[in-house]
Structure 1
Amino acid sequence: MQSIYALHQSQSGDLEKEEKFLFYSLESIQDLYLVMISTLLELKKMEEVFLDKSSKKHLVTTEERNPNRKFVENKVIGLLTESNHLTISLENRKIDNWEIHDDYIQLLLRLIKESDLYAKYMTTRENNFEEDKQFIVDVFTEIIVPNEKLYDYLEDNKLTWIDDIPLVNTEIIKQLKAIKETTEVRMPRLYKDVDDKDFAKNLFRKTILNEKELAKHYIDKTPNWDTERIAELDTIVLKMAICEFLKFPSIPVKVTINEYLEVAKEYSTPKSSIFINGILDNLVKEFQANNTLLKVGRGLM
């Protein structure tokens, strides 16, 4: 949707250029995953440096000489640190955000150490895997993910990441919850390479190349609306949904409608989802009556 909108705004008609950017934004989701998961690695490194410096002070306290190392020896962070796959991925993709901008790690570390989560966790010195895992899940969910300064940094760093943050964070939380002591941590594929890339390319191209044909289906369904007054994002959403109806036989109608209503709620005007829902419902009935809607497989209508 954003790529089609960008193509409209540029008025260049350079479909190939916008398609390349679409694929670039899909691939950069993997970088966002690594940036987010590496916060945990960097928090451990920073705390280890702090504990080491504290123990070497001229006037050192008993606690500083023998600190509680439960956080830096957290077994889940240990698995992440020892993962060759993650290490190689971070190196290959040149993910060094927190080395350059370590002030964000300092901020997160301070918030963690000031939290009730940390206070409760550090009441003992023994590392228990399940307790360690729950602590990291809670820290990531309640402190790292909601942090507005971190969110602003991600937005400034790469604009395309904003829409991907919920997907990436959900995947990381899911991964952390499922981790076991014997787990070899690997970076997940956040889209299925060939299948998802082909779908993105086909939906983008089929919508762009058939815009006039797709628009004809809804123009006479909006008698109370001047077509020039319909929000441009709404017209793009309608065209993409109609394209899925007619040119993607394996996608269920209900899935298409639900997905595009969510997109409209997120990106367009407050009343857009109601407007789009009405148009799509009427079109589905018309397509079914005319046998235009040819879906393959059970339960796809």
Structure 2
Amino acid sequence: MISRRNIRVKVMQVLYSVESQETPEKNGDPFKLLQKHFDLTHQLFIYLIHYLTEVARYAEIDARNRAGKHLPSREDLNVNIKLAGNELLWKILEHPSYQKAVKETRPELLANPELLRKIYLQLADTDKYKQYISVPAREKKEEKAMLEFIFNELLLPNEDFTSYVEETFTNWDDDADMLRLLLQNFLNKPAGFNFQELISKEKWLFGKGLLETALEKKEVTMEYIKPKLKNWDPERIAVLDMILMRMGVCEFLYFETIPPKVTINEYIDLAKEYSTPQSGQFVNGILDNIHKDLVREDKMHKVAFKPS
């Protein structure tokens, strides 16, 4: 499911959006905005699975198109459609939770038929595909391997596909790696997957709680951050750096099951990825100093650590 790292990214983005506006009312309820971020991740995930299944099912469309030619050749009349009957493919298509998600998100409305055709033709020209259709029997391992090949070797490396997805979903860069792993987990064990619970109740409460705390405890967290800035002018520090440090201090003080090392490492990584080249080192130094002070002053109380 959605990782805590991804949740932190979305909370960071909501805080940035809220605080970048001169009048906060323009963004509306920040918690609704956070929910929209999660909804977009859900829509993107369904779209990726839908596109994968459409590539696999295109074998039947190709067979019909070629058979419908004015003067079809013998090859046109004998297109191999084994892939369209892939057993794992049909487990996906008949998955009740997936069917419900498709009805809700309507991924077919984002279809790009020409791109779909091109990707299928690329697939049909690969040795992997030719080997697959040359064997009449169906083996569970090969059925899964074929769908994995389509996604990992044809869709993800395809610049036309990733550019199209990026234009359609603004969260592609943020969610791509996580959703790739999530899709792999789904292909490994599709039966127990619940598309209506892409984010668990526990993780939603973590995200909501982190956002709420960062908003309500802004002055408190800044009291810890400002003394550590020394010769830095708080007004000239990157907005994202300040937001990430505030979130980190919130985790130190108010999220007792998250280890401090996890918190520091997470926000160093986010600073490196989303802020300036120097931000990782900067955020590391500030959070590490605050952490040491809190420990020395016995203001940090952590219990029953859980993986973040």
TM-score, normalised via structure 2 length: 0.87
Determine if the alignment matches structure 1 residue 116 to structure 2 residue 123. Answer: no
> What is the identity, as a one-letter code, of the residue corresponding to 1:26?
F
CA deviations 1:7-66 (Å, max 9, x no partner) are 111122337523211111112222111100001221233321110232343433333323
Which of 22, 28, 39 is the equivalent residue of 1:27? 39
TM-fit CA distance, 1:189: 2.7
Determine if the alignment matches structure 1 residue 17 to structure 2 residue 29. Answer: yes
* Greater helix proportion: 2
| Structure 2 partner of 1:173 | 184
Contact 1:234 1:272 in 2 (8 A): yes
| Structure 2 partner of 1:227 | 234
Determine if the alignment matches structure 1 residue 293 to structure 2 residue 300. Answer: yes
How far apart, CA to CA, are the structure 1 residues paired with 2:137 and 2:70?
A: 28
TM-fit CA distance, 1:171: 0.3
Determine if the alignment matches structure 1 residue 41 to structure 2 residue 59. Answer: no
How far apart, CA to CA, are the structure 2 residues paired with 1:27 and 1:53?
A: 37
TM-fit CA distance, 1:67: 2.6
Local SS of the residue matching 2:243:
helix
Q: Cα distance 1:186–1:213, how it changes in 2: closer, same or farther (>3 A)?
A: closer
Local SS of the residue matching 1:11:
coil
How far apart, CA to CA, are the structure 1 residues paired with 2:67 and 2:253?
A: 68
| Structure 2 partner of 1:125 | 136
| Structure 2 partner of 1:208 | 215
Which of 74, 80, 83 is the equivalent residue of 1:68? 80
TM-fit CA distance, 1:239: 0.4
Determine if the alignment matches structure 1 residue 264 to structure 2 residue 276. Answer: no
Contact 2:251 2:258 in 1 (8 A): yes
Contact 1:79 1:184 in 2 (8 A): no
CA deviations 1:187-242 (Å, max 9, x no partner) are 363210x3222222221121122212211212221224332332111111000000
| Structure 1 partner of 2:9 | none
CA deviations 1:94-119 (Å, max 9, x no partner) are 33234x42223223212222333323
> What is the identity, as a one-letter code, of the residue corresponding to 2:274?
Y
How far apart, CA to CA, are the structure 2 residues paired with 1:239 and 1:296?
A: 21
How far apart, CA to CA, are the structure 1 residues paired with 2:15 and 2:228?
A: 23
How far apart, CA to CA, are the structure 2 residues paired with 1:2 and 1:264?
A: 12
How far apart, CA to CA, are the structure 2 residues paired with 1:127 and 1:22?
A: 44
Count, aligned residues = 295
CA deviations 1:153-188 (Å, max 9, x no partner) are 222223234312222221001221345xxx476536
Which of 269, 273, 288 is the equivalent residue of 2:280? 273
User: Where in structure 2 are there 5+ consecutive unaligned residues?
Assistant: 1-11
Q: Cα distance 1:152–1:84, how it changes in 2: closer, same or farther (>3 A)?
A: same
| Structure 1 partner of 2:3 | none
RMSD over aligned CA atoms reads: 2.3
Q: Cα distance 1:298–1:109, how it changes in 2: closer, same or farther (>3 A)?
A: closer
Contact 1:140 1:173 in 2 (8 A): no
Q: Cα distance 1:227–1:186, how it changes in 2: closer, same or farther (>3 A)?
A: closer
How far apart, CA to CA, are the structure 1 residues paired with 2:59 and 2:171?
A: 31
How far apart, CA to CA, are the structure 1 residues paired with 2:169 and 2:58?
A: 25
- Percentage of identical aligned residues: 28
Deviates more, 1:55-64 or 1:213-222: 55-64
Local SS of the residue matching 1:256:
helix
> What is the identity, as a one-letter code, of the residue corresponding to 1:240?
M
Q: Cα distance 1:218–1:85, how it changes in 2: closer, same or farther (>3 A)?
A: closer
Contact 2:49 2:183 in 1 (8 A): yes
Contact 2:123 2:150 in 1 (8 A): yes
Local SS of the residue matching 2:141:
helix
TM-score, normalised via structure 1 length: 0.89
Contact 1:80 1:185 in 2 (8 A): no
Q: Cα distance 1:184–1:294, how it changes in 2: closer, same or farther (>3 A)?
A: closer
